[in-house]
Amino acid sequence: MTIKFVSINLLHGGTFLDNILKFLREQDADIVIMQEAYNSTDPTLAKQFRSMQVLDEELHYPYNDFVAAFRDMDRTEGKAQIGNALLSRFPISGRDSVFFFEGYSDGAYRDVPGNYQNCPRVLEHVTMETPVGDIDVFNIQGVWDLNGERYSDQRKHMADIVIEQVSGKERVILGGDTNAKTDNQCIKDIEEHLHSVFGSELTSTFNMRHKDNPGYATAAVDMIFVSPTIQVLAKDCPEDDVSDHKPLTATFEVH
């Protein structure tokens, strides 16, 4: 069985939402994982803060999941939660999540410069039923640190949690925005258990159209990992202008 997989950081729920919708229609993926998704249904808010509602109405995926990291008190006056999300053509038989530190913030965290290192970060996990058996899909947005190479205690803890969560599972796909460079020891820790689809091939996964700091041009932080049971047939990091991150796509053979 082949599976088309996409990972995309939406940038505040979809700053370039029309571009995102166009891109996802063209990709026609079986599974889409997203970071920085919003779940509001308040019609007074811009569409980007209603990402899940808009994506559902426009793309018509039969299954989805959303895990809130915090309630946004700065951009939406607390009317929307932001977190990790996914769309799937496969039924979801189980779901859970785990925070890397602290936990869900219902207003205590403010998403403003100088406070990003305290941003709640969560690992979303769903089990999907497929014709060849269950697949466990993990969606990560990693702990924030402007130094992508620093092997901090938080990053070590993040890697330990990921390893604990994927251990013992036969078919695993892990992807998302790790907020760490590929040569960070926390990524190497994960690679002892899962295969990195892109490895060190990518120079950067940031869209420099929307970045001023030149350091982002050499920072590949968006990644996909798979268990040894999954074969990678194709992979790409398209240049589509959908976010301040580049999306990742991959096609897998799964038995």
pLDDT of residue 163: 98
Residue 12: which pLDDT band, with cuts at 50, 70 and 90? very high
* Mean pLDDT for the chain overall: 97
pLDDT tens digit sequence for 54-108: 999 999 999 999 999 999 999 999 999 999 999 999 999 999 999 999 899 999 9
Are 29 and 249 in contact, with CB atoms under 8 Å apart?
Answer: yes
Q: Is the pTM for the entire model greater than 0.85?
A: yes
Q: 146 CB contacts (<8 Å, ≥6 apart)?
A: none
Paired residues of 254 in beta bridges: 230
Is the pLDDT score of 208 beyond 90?
A: yes
pLDDT of residue 10: 98
Task: Give helix then strand counts, H and E, for the chain.
Answer: 4, 12
Distance (Å, rounded) from C-alpha 5 to C-alpha 220?
A: 18
Structural domains for the chain: 2-254 (3.60.10.10)
Are 144 and 155 in contact, with CB atoms under 8 Å apart?
Answer: no
Of residues 112 and 249, more confidence is placed in 249
| DSSP-derived secondary structure letter, 107 | S
Residue 153: which pLDDT band, with cuts at 50, 70 and 90? very high
Is the pLDDT score of 252 beyond 90?
A: yes
| CA end-to-end span of the chain | 6
pLDDT tens digit sequence for 169-204: 999 999 999 999 999 999 999 999 999 999 999 999
Q: What percentage of the chain has pLDDT greater than the value 70?
A: 100
Q: What percentage of the chain has pLDDT greater than the value 90?
A: 99
pLDDT of residue 102: 87
